[in-house]
Amino acid sequence: MNTRIQIRLNGKILTLTVPPFRLLLDLLRDEIGLTGTKEGCGTGDCGACTVLLNGKPVNSCLVLSGELDGADIVTIEGLKIGPHLHPVQQAFVQEGGAQCGYCTPGMLMMTKSLLDENQNPTEEEIRFALSGNLCRCTGYAKIIQAVQIAAAELRKDEAGK
């Protein structure tokens, strides 16, 4: 039996009828057509499918659609600010924080979550925050640099307000 849910997805209200046991990842990719969120492992171990659910990072491969009524969800597609890249996205581009790009959406969403909570994280705090997001290409050095650059940019933006 399907369940009717209403969600805010990337700032837009959607009313959907979904199978309650359909995974959020599949709902996003197959039903809604937002394919930026990737499936890496399907078991919540790699972080490729990270999205923000009510402001907190979650592995969308572990969240059931039936649990989403009233939820606020932000995917990689919702990270951009109008026509401009979010500072986190810009820093990853600038610092070469992505190689194949498969883990990048999850890394970006986890980074945004970290920087929403702490705009001046230490390298150790960055590494801890990203420890649930696996990258098989970069060796993490460029990713850590990108997070540090994004943090500095966000602090600069905040100081300018």
Confidence at 158, pLDDT banded by 50, 70, 90: confident
Give per-residue pLDDT as tens, 84-107: 899 999 999 999 998 888 999 999
pTM over 0.85: yes
Domains identified in the chain and CATH numbers: 3-77 (3.10.20.30), 87-159 (1.10.150.120)
d(CA 104, CA 89): 9
State whether residue 30 is helix, strand or coil: helix
d(CA 44, CA 8): 23
Buried b / exposed e over 62-98, threshold 16 CB at 10 Å, is ebebeebeebebbbbbbbeeeeeebbbbebbeebebb
State whether residue 101 is helix, strand or coil: coil
| 80 secondary structure, DSSP code | S
